[in-house]
Chain A
Amino acid sequence: MTRFIGLGQLRKLGILGMNRRNIEFIARYNPRSLYPLVDDKLKTKVLARKYGIPVPELYFSMREQHRVRDLAGLLENLEGFAVKPARGSGGKGILIIKESGPNAYIKSSGAAITLNDLKRHVSNILGGLYSLAGTPDAAIVEELIHCDDIFADYSWEGVPDIRIIVFQGYPVMAMLRLTTRVSDGKANLHQGAVGVGLDISDGKIINAVQYSRPIERHPDTNKAFDLVRVPGWREILRLASCCYEMTGLGYIGADIVLDKKRGPVLLELNARPGLNIQLANGGGLVPRLRVVEDLKKKHAAPEDRVRFAVETFWRMRPCGNES
């Protein structure tokens, strides 16, 4: 078996390549000046609240090394929480504490760490260990997301998130990212997380891939990808669509998680979303992006854009997956 796909086939599928993404979409629709809004999770959070988009509740944030001393006091009454670098990328530096005991904090993997471990981690975040250019950063401590039961058997240690590509306010493609043992609880596809293509019109599973190879069952829980249909799909799409007004960025990836109690919550936004979503969907982005680009009159309300996307892209689903 050769390991290459023909140029013609790629074109026919409408796969978006790295060069085209950079020149025709990111450079054209994402003004550089707006990047900080999405690169800094703290800014995204503030902005999202202003636009009524649900985000994980912020307990506190810190920017100065000397405040690390107060950590124990600040964390005193918190049951579980997540520590994140404000400007991290690719899930680096995220620490999930699901339980806090008197002398120890229990990570999502079950391992216990001490207060000093936690302090060092926060101090590393402030020093810029996980930030994009190694610049000093802020640490965010926020509410823990409780995984919706529907995904309970589909993830290993982490919370699965839904990545939706939003182009000029229209949700064009979606993918569910499931954490695995090899991905170390992170939802990064190239680290071994499972990417599950979702039908943009109804949230049904199309296709699952790990390391670009199709799989039938989750590698750790062994659960087959057959039944799931993401609940509250329209609401998730609407939420993603609202991010366009919120940031002004024309080509973004919105990462949304389903919380057991709160429903869909916006986790973060990405101004340079990756291309692997096409592998999970078994189809290309280009035809859909062109449909939106060619629209004479864009819809003003997020609800209308979602309706348009659902109706239009339902017809553009990759062939062979109708059943």
Chain B
Amino acid sequence: MTSRIFFHIIVLCLIVTGLATLWARHNQTGIPLLPGDQTTVWLIEARVDFVAHGGTVTVTLDIPDDPPGFVILSEQTASPGYGFSVINENGNRRGEWTIRNAEGPQTLYYKVEVAPQTIPRQKRDDPPPQLFDVYWNEPEALAANQLLAAAHSMSSTPESMTRELIKLLAEPSANQNAALLLAETPLVPLLVKLLNYARIPTRIVAGLYLEDGRRNQQLREMIEVYTNGGWVLFNPVTGYQGIPENFFLWNLEGQSLLDVSGGESSQTRFAMLQRSISTIQLAQETMKDSGFALLGVHKLPVEEQNLLRILLLLPVGALVLVFMRIIVGVKTSGTFMPILIALSFLQTTLLPGLVSFIAIVSFGLLLRGYLSNLNLLLVARISTIVVIVVFIVIFFSLFGYQLGFNTGMTVTFFPIIIIAWTIERMSILWEDEGPWEVFVQGAGSLLVAVLAYLLMQWRVTQHLTFHFPEINLIVVALIMLMGNYTGYRLFELRRFSSLRRISRS
């Protein structure tokens, strides 16, 4: 019995520690316990990679000045050994890193925290732009003139003219002039060239679509047209006018994004993370430096934060799984498969995830049926299935992409190895116990996965696990408690239901 007492003391300690830490963190840092009254804040990280030649290096990166629709809260750089300063070139800010001696691969970080602006701002009072002269060769000039004439005849204002032009260029197959011009110049520069030629001041801008948890993003190029004393943004592909929601304009003046001297193979990638901050915390953000801030996850680079966010959600998934298996008695195929599926649902979202998961597994089962005739040894068989699953996943992504679903690509988030094992287990189960058992276990797994997903993507759960990682101490205590549950499972009430008549008599 002493082991019992010991066990309960451990569980109690875990819960008390968890709650106490949670409370202390809440009090000290002012992070609210619930994701209520909050402002969304975007943390955008530009990561510059290049290979230094082994001498002096100067890197300048164009950084946001006054992005429309957003306020800059704070800026940070991480670049060991480098000197950093912000220089101002005619109102355009650039970050400049310098070092006397550097060799080999280098990585520089620039982080900016921005909050969406709720009050719409007045038009930016930029100086009226200069048109630049455009030179075409003869066939191009002819094509450009015809194209512009077509767009002009169908429009009344510079904006509508731009839209018509984008429409014409979007279908090069229907328009020989468009095809000819596009063969010489890429779409965005061509648009700028054409509009300037038509005496409409136009420039290239670049920005980012803010999506939570994205990594390895590139800037998207857009065009801005100057009209009525202000700049109007256009999507060069769709012709959409105005700034899209959650579009963050990084580079306004059409300047180069990155200049590296003393290095090569440079590239810039962007990562972004959405963070909820209470209104109070927003004010404290810059000055707080308590012990919790050091221990918290917020100090990490954005990429690592994203990984941690998912990692910190795992225990919650495990909790659901343990509950469903021990208390309810649901059968799942493979112990932890449902959690991993739930994690990939977080990337694919529920419905597309469910559909593609069922499709992949059924398709895999079909092919596995043929494999069983070949009498392969287990390891070879599983490996074959892994390869088959890879093909199926690629097939589905390409298929989805062709059909125009952006979600098509997200099926690559499915854990391939786990799916391969699932297919193998289900196929054996099918042979041994028949399709009904496969259905029962498959449905059980998906049920647990969906429940885990629903809990993990719930705002409150995400908020608590990410901002208060100590909550997982409580989760583990609950899991341990359930591991000691010797009572009946919910499904056993049904399993033994035929005994009712005996207990009556």
Contacts and interface: CB of A to CB of B under 8 A. Distances in A.
A159 interface: no
Interface residues of B, number: 26
Given A19-B486, A20-B487, A212-B495, A5 B375 contact: no
Interface in B445-490: 484-489
B485 A3 contact: no
Given A13-B502, A17-B488, A23-B484, A124 B375 contact: yes
B1 to A, nearest CB: 13
A282 B499 contact: yes
Given A19-B485, A90-B432, A127 B375 contact: yes
B378 A128 contact: yes
B497 A7 contact: no
B240 to A, nearest CB: 55
B496 interface: yes
Interface in B375-399: 375, 377-378
A10 B494 contact: no
Contacts of A278: 496, 499
Nearest to B500: A5
A interface, size bucket: 35 or more
A18 B492 contact: yes
A258 B350 CA distance: 55
A207 to B, nearest CB: 8
Q: Name the residue among A2, A4, A23 with the largest chain B CB count within 10 angstroms.
A: A4
Interface in B194-222: none
The B contact surface, by secondary structure, is helix
Contacts of A33: none
A92 interface: yes
A135 B375 CA distance: 14
Interface string A170-200: 0000000000000000000011000000000
A209 interface: yes
Given A127-B375, A282-B499, A320-B505, A3 B494 contact: yes
Contacts of A18: 329, 489, 492
Contacts of B501: 214
Given A23-B484, A92-B432, A127-B375, A15 B496 contact: yes
Interface in B319-352: 326, 329
Nearest to A17: B488
A13 B492 CA distance: 13
Interface string A14-38: 0101111001100000000000000
Contact of B497 (A5, A17, A275): A5
Given A12-B503, A282-B502, A6 B377 contact: no
Q: Name the residue among B500, B501, B505 with the largest chain A CB count within 10 angstroms.
A: B500
A209 B498 CA distance: 9
B493 A4 contact: yes
B502 A7 contact: no
B499 A9 contact: yes
A27 to B, nearest CB: 11
B304 interface: no
A20 B329 CA distance: 13
Contact of A17 (B375, B377, B486, B502): B486
Given A9-B499, A191-B433, A279-B496, A134 B378 contact: yes
A18 B433 CA distance: 20
A7 B485 CA distance: 15
A173 B488 CA distance: 20
A231 interface: no
A24 B486 CA distance: 8
Interface string B420-452: 000000000000110000000000000000000
A111 interface: no
A19 B502 contact: no
B487 A19 contact: yes
A10 B432 contact: no
A127 B377 contact: yes
Contacts of B495: 212, 275
B497 A3 contact: yes
Contact of B493 (A5, A90, A191): A5
A298 B347 CA distance: 59
Interface string A295-319: 0000000000000000000000011
Nearest to A124: B375
A10 B492 contact: yes
A83 to B, nearest CB: 17
A209 B505 CA distance: 18
Contact of A19 (B377, B432, B488, B500): B488
Interface in A206-233: 209, 212-214
Contacts of B488: 7, 10, 15, 17, 19
Contacts of A13: 496, 499, 502-503
A283 interface: yes
Contacts of A12: 503
Nearest to A135: B378
B286 to A, nearest CB: 52
Q: Name the residue among A123, A134, A318 with the largest chain B CB count within 10 angstroms.
A: A134
4 shortest A-B CB distances, which residue pairs?
Answer: A20-B486, A320-B505, A17-B488, A134-B378
Given A17-B486, A128-B377, A320-B505, 5 more contacts: A4-B494, A5-B503, A7-B488, A275-B495, A278-B496
22 contacts: A3-B494, A5-B499, A5-B500, A9-B499, A9-B500, A10-B488, A10-B493, A15-B488, A17-B486, A17-B492, A20-B487, A23-B484, A23-B486, A24-B486, A120-B375, A134-B378, A190-B433, A214-B498, A275-B495, A283-B499, A283-B502, A318-B502
